[in-house]
Amino acid sequence: MFGKKAEDITLLYVGEISTFTDYYLICSADSEPQIWAVVDAVETALQKNKLKPLGIEGRRTAPWVLVDCSDIVVHIFKKESRAFYNLDELYANAERIDLSEIVLSAPPKKVRKRKASS
C-alpha cells in the first residue's frame, strides 16, 4: 500500500464504537487508477497470508473504494472525496494508531472475534 503511493494514511481503532470492525485504515490517492493500485496491493497482501477480502465496494470510476477485511476496513479515497466524506472527523473519538509503531505481524490491540452474518 505504501509502495502504491497511498497518501495521508490514517489508522483508527473503532472497536469500541463499531459493531462490525475493529479498525479503519483510511488513505488518499490522486486518481482512480492509483486507487485501484492500492486495492490490488491490499488484495496481494491478503493473498500472501492466505486471506481474501469479504468484499470490495466501489466501481472502477468510483472516487471511494472500500475493502472489507473483517477486522480492518480499508477506505481508499480520491483526495476530493476524502475531504467531502470526512471520515477522519466523523470518527474523531476513535483512537488514532501511530503506524510507525506497528509490527505488521501483530495487531496493535486485541482483535475481537466476530461471527459471520447470515
Within-domain flag for 111: no
pLDDT for 98 equals: 86
Within-domain flag for 25: yes
pLDDT for 60 equals: 80
In our burial notation (b when 16+ CB lie closer than 10 A, e otherwise), range 49-88 reads eeeebeebebeeebbbbbbebbebbbbbbbeebbeeeebb
Return per-residue pLDDT of the chain as tens, 118 residues.
555 578 999 999 999 998 889 999 999 999 999 999 999 999 999 999 999 999 999 988 889 999 999 999 999 999 999 999 999 999 999 999 988 766 454 555 555 555 544 4
Within-domain flag for 107: no
Taking the alpha carbons of 105, 73, 10, 14 in that order, is the dihedral positive or negative?
Answer: negative
Within-domain flag for 105: no
pLDDT for 66 equals: 96
pLDDT for 112 equals: 54
Question: Count of domains in the chain?
Answer: 1
Within-domain flag for 115: no
Question: Domain limits at 40?
Answer: 2-98
> For residue 46, what is the enclosing H or E element?
helix 32-48
pLDDT for 99 equals: 83
How crowded is the C-beta side of 104, counted as CA atoms within 13 Å? Answer: 6
Within-domain flag for 104: no
